[in-house]
Amino acid sequence: AAILATTGNGIYQLDREGRLVYLNPAGERLLGYEQNEIRGRNMHDLIHSRTPQGESRPAETCPLLAVLRNGVTYRSAEDWYQRKDGSFITVECTSTPLRMGGEIAGAVFSFHDITERQQREEVLRSTMALQKAIFDSASAGIVSTDAHGVITTINSAAERMLQYSAEEVVGKATPAIFLDFGEIARRAAELTQELGVTISPGFDSFTVKTLRTGVPDENEWTFIRKDGTRLPVRLSVTLLRDAAGNINGFMGIAEDITERKKAEAALRESEAKLKESLERERNAARVDFLTGILNRRGFFEIAGSESQRSRRYKRPLSLVYVDLDNFKAVNDTMGHDAGDELLVEVAAVIHTEVRGTDTVGRLGGDEFAVLLPETDQEQGTVVVQKVQKQLLEAMQQKQWPVTFSIGLISFEVPPESIEEMVREADRVMYSVKLKGKNSVAVHGMA
């Protein structure tokens, strides 16, 4: 009863005439009916007589019900049941004959909603009368042991998983036969730290949690198959009790998660590629496409961080604003290609003449900015004069009729607003423009 009540598969039993004898809780949940309201009713007429397309399916032609006539187990990889509310669920189902005294007394049907297969564990249980039918129809590997870990039963799915026959493993101790000792030792160490008691690297590693809590303990393990290959599984270990309620063993239900592991690996690879792509795009969005230095957005991001650091550690911070004089004349007389070449040259000269810790950006058009961390007015003035000198020499070499109006503002404590800092530097630069251009103006703010 405990097995039937806790399995994730819907299980129902029919008598020889196809009438419902038993419906387990999972079947009630999947079909929407309670056992008491449909016991004794013809189950085919109730849930399987009509297809989702509205076509009739007579009981005489139903392959699931054929088990009542021919006693042959039938498995369907894809079928459907109609629920109480009229909706349909797609199921994978098995019908198995139930024999009493050599005669077919009915059948046991096991089904699960395959649209949710990846969202839950398949758990199959059995009573003494239905155990063989459930074991034969289960897709999960099921192994039961006594209280000391000696294997008592193993189903066909577990035999396929492990490549061992029941005769080869029943009566032998697990996990020594088909589990990775390294994983067992690591799990024992984890449990020792978690529970505060020493857990030996053996059968206790699988049972101690469910013994303490009374609920199934689920973990990922690796089965070592008979041919030495490794199979990743999700293993759920559950208590087994006798009629008096005493613990007399354990049941392990294993699901092959090979495909899930592959999917997870593929997802991780995809996420890594996406992260790399997003990072490239993010960096591209911060770089000026023409000059290769930071654009306005990138400059403002770094300036924000440096300003915050300057305020926190009470370090001076200087900002240089560079505007090209007569740049429009270059575009008008020499063409935009020459203008672009000039801007690239200006960016390269400025970048070469400042420190690696300084930040150079193109704010737009022919306007550039340089952020000088931990630089006061006196130090900033030296930097600006050197930059202006190199810029003018570069213009003379190329015979470009361009000069530079440069403003330097130094902050003992910079404002929180980067826009305000840039406006102040722009204001200082503009004072040069008003006085005739091609010069440097310096201003300090407390």
pLDDT (tens digit, 9 = 90+) per residue, 163-184? 999 899 898 888 778 888 889 8
The pLDDT of residue 19 is above 90: yes
CA distance 81 to 87: 9
The pLDDT of residue 439 is above 60: yes
Q: Are 163 and 226 in contact (CB under 8 A)?
A: yes
Task: List the structure tokens of 427.
Answer: 């204001």
User: What pLDDT sits at residue 332?
Assistant: 87
Predicted TM-score (pTM) of this structure: 0.42
User: What pLDDT sits at residue 120?
Assistant: 47
Segment 417-444 shows an average pLDDT of 92
pLDDT digits (tens, 9 = 90+) for 85-138: 999 998 999 999 999 888 999 999 999 888 665 444 443 344 455 556 655 666
Integer-rounded Cα Rg, in Å, for the chain is 39
User: What pLDDT sits at residue 263?
Assistant: 86
CA distance 239 to 249: 6
Q: Are 232 and 258 in contact (CB under 8 A)?
A: yes
- DSSP assignment of 355-422 equals -TTSEEEEEETTEEEEEEET--HHHHHHHHHHHHHHHHHHHHHHT---EEEEEEEEESS--S-HHHHH
The pLDDT of residue 190 is above 60: yes
pLDDT digits (tens, 9 = 90+) for 245-280: 899 999 999 999 888 888 888 888 888 887 877 767
User: What pLDDT sits at residue 118?
Assistant: 44
**Which band of pLDDT confidence, cut at 50, 70 and 90, is reported for residue 7?**
confident
